[in-house]
A = this chain, B = another copy of it.
Amino acid sequence: MTAAGLGNAGERVEAARRMYDVVRRLYPLCRSITGEGLRESLRILAETVPLERSEVPSGTRVFDWTVPKEWNIREAWIADASGRRVVDFADHNLHVVSYSTPFRGRLGLQELAPHLHDLPDRPSWIPYRTSYYNETWGFCLTHDARRAMGPGPYDVLIDSSLKDGALTIAEHFVAGTSDREFVVSCHCCHPSLANDNLSAMAVCSEMAARLTARRTRYGYRFLFLPGTIGAITWLALNRDRLPRIAGGLVVAGVGDRGGFTYKRSRRGDARIDRVVERVLRRSGEDHRVEPFTPYGYDERQYNSPGIGLEVGRLGRTPYGQYPEYHTSADDLGFVHPESLAGALDLLLRVVDELESDPTYLNLEPRCEPQLGRRGLYRALGGDPDPGASQMAMLWILNFADGDHGLGEIAERSGIPIETLSRTAETLARHGLLRRDD
């Protein structure tokens, strides 16, 4: 493992372009928590990195939940008496409330009104609405369009289907040399919303592809899941795996121009928290750190008291703190290639840090081992300065008790992590140390 983050400027520009292309291709598809739009999106991601897909049948019990029926949609519109389509799903897939049941009929505006959703404060934006677990139908439209609507009558069509099918979840596993793994999770269930969630889908798939090319100590499991129900389903189906998970990250909303936001795991000072915060501090990037709250993305599920994984969340501007959130304004212009590249770079640095921040065990822990007879100690004594590599050895040997990662030793000692990492390898080669994975 020699990479540090995303690499050089050329590589960064190239990665930015590639991820933005993925966002652009995903954008027009109508994703939801189930259905063909989700499957097609995962097919596109699979061009970047192979994905293992699972289809979990509707009706499957997953903890307290049940996998819902599968939803698909072909056509949906509202037409006025003249046949002019006032709202048309063909124009924008946010126009239909996700999981809208099939409907065909002629209604006056008064009857139709409860099924119409707009944003009076943002008259030219279409809101995003869903109704996964409450069977109904509806249209989202701009406030301008809504205001222009006369008393009707209107012809309304929703040519959707809601029937037994499957929930699609996908993952890619980068095996490590140890059996400990970190999860990286993003949600894939939103339709034409570019920052939320396409940015994370593009970044996570690119990250997975890059890690596949590396040899890592830890395994990295990339989860591409419909929000909430997907995470719950994955957790329910992978209960046996949980003890091997050393922590993880939810990635969401990494395409806007804002600085980074790291939301801590419920524990608050888990290894993933310490590592991400260390990487953020060193990055020079504008960032802030937030405490855990039980609302947000799938970190809610991972950190629930009966699951107890140590999973933080990395994003840029948090959901709900930019007006474009969950509206048609979260479009391709709201996401920037360089923002995607910056997020990928940071995530790769987190991996670098995890990989170079292992915990070790000193195999000769009673007093210092005799470094001299192993050729590990300067030949001549007495010089006040023991030299950096010898200090690194002493620090590691003293703190290789299975409790301290190299990164923590680096902070405590002031010795660069790279030096410690190299030194740990040397000590391991001499049989004085082993990884405590």
* Alpha-carbon gap, A412 to B292, bound state (A): 10
Indicate if the CB atoms of B384 and A64 lie closer than 8 Å. Answer: no
Grouping DSSP codes into helix (H, G, I), strand (E, B) and loop, the A interface class, with mixed when no group exceeds half, is loop
Residues of B close to A160: CB separation below 8 A: none
Whether A121 sits at the interface, judged by CB under 8 Å, is no
Question: How far does the Cβ of A184 sit from chain B's closest Cβ, in whole Å?
Answer: 18
> Which of the four size classes fits the interface of chain A?
35 or more
Indicate if the CB atoms of B130 and A372 lie closer than 8 Å. Answer: no
Question: How far does the Cβ of A137 sit from chain B's closest Cβ, in whole Å?
Answer: 11
Residues of B close to A228: CB separation below 8 A: 368
Residues of B close to A325: CB separation below 8 A: 384
Residues of B close to A384: CB separation below 8 A: 319-320, 325-326
Indicate if the CB atoms of B307 and A366 lie closer than 8 Å. Answer: yes
Given known contacts A63-B367, A64-B370, A306-B362, A398 and B133 CB-to-CB distance under 8 angstroms:
no
Indicate if the CB atoms of A365 and B306 lie closer than 8 Å. Answer: yes
A:111-151 near B, CB below 8 Å: 117, 127-134, 136, 138
A:351-394 near B, CB below 8 Å: 362, 364-370, 372-373, 377, 379-386, 391, 394
Which chain B residue lies CB-closest to A231?
B367
A:389-428 near B, CB below 8 Å: 391, 394-395, 397-401, 412-413
- Pick the contact of A129: B133, B134, B383 (CB < 8 A): B383
Whether A177 sits at the interface, judged by CB under 8 Å, is no
Question: How far does the Cβ of A195 sit from chain B's closest Cβ, in whole Å?
Answer: 13
- Pick the contact of A134: B66, B231, B232, B379 (CB < 8 A): B379
Residues of B close to A300: CB separation below 8 A: 367-368, 394, 398
* Alpha-carbon gap, A266 to B404, bound state (A): 13
Residues of B close to A65: CB separation below 8 A: 367, 369-370
Whether A283 sits at the interface, judged by CB under 8 Å, is no
* Alpha-carbon gap, A401 to B398, bound state (A): 33
* Alpha-carbon gap, A278 to B37, bound state (A): 51
Residues of B close to A29: CB separation below 8 A: none
- Pick the contact of A368: B97, B138, B304, B395 (CB < 8 A): B304
- Which of the listed residues A231, A367, A412 has the most CB atoms from chain B within 10 Å of its own CB? A367
Whether A235 sits at the interface, judged by CB under 8 Å, is yes
Whether A293 sits at the interface, judged by CB under 8 Å, is yes
A:281-306 near B, CB below 8 Å: 291, 293-295, 300-301, 303-306
Given known contacts A133-B377, A134-B380, A377-B133, A301 and B367 CB-to-CB distance under 8 angstroms:
yes
Question: How far does the Cβ of A375 sit from chain B's closest Cβ, in whole Å?
Answer: 9
Indicate if the CB atoms of B381 and A129 lie closer than 8 Å. Answer: yes
Residues of B close to A266: CB separation below 8 A: 398
Q: Mark A50-81, 1 if CB is under 8 A from B, else 0.
A: 00000000000001111000000000000000
Given known contacts A383-B326, A397-B294, A367 and B134 CB-to-CB distance under 8 angstroms:
no
Which chain B residue lies CB-closest to A391?
B295
Residues of B close to A304: CB separation below 8 A: 365-368, 397-398
Question: How far does the Cβ of A286 sit from chain B's closest Cβ, in whole Å?
Answer: 23
Residues of B close to A381: CB separation below 8 A: 98, 129-132
Indicate if the CB atoms of A305 and B368 lie closer than 8 Å. Answer: no
Question: How far does the Cβ of A191 sit from chain B's closest Cβ, in whole Å?
Answer: 10
* Alpha-carbon gap, A251 to B162, bound state (A): 65
13 pairs, CB–CB < 8 Å, chain A vs chain B: A63-B366, A98-B382, A127-B382, A129-B382, A133-B373, A136-B379, A236-B366, A236-B367, A301-B367, A303-B398, A304-B368, A307-B366, A319-B384
Question: Contacts A291-B412, A301-B368, A304-B368 given; 6 further ones with Cβ under 8 A?
Answer: A64-B369, A117-B380, A131-B381, A300-B398, A307-B365, A326-B384
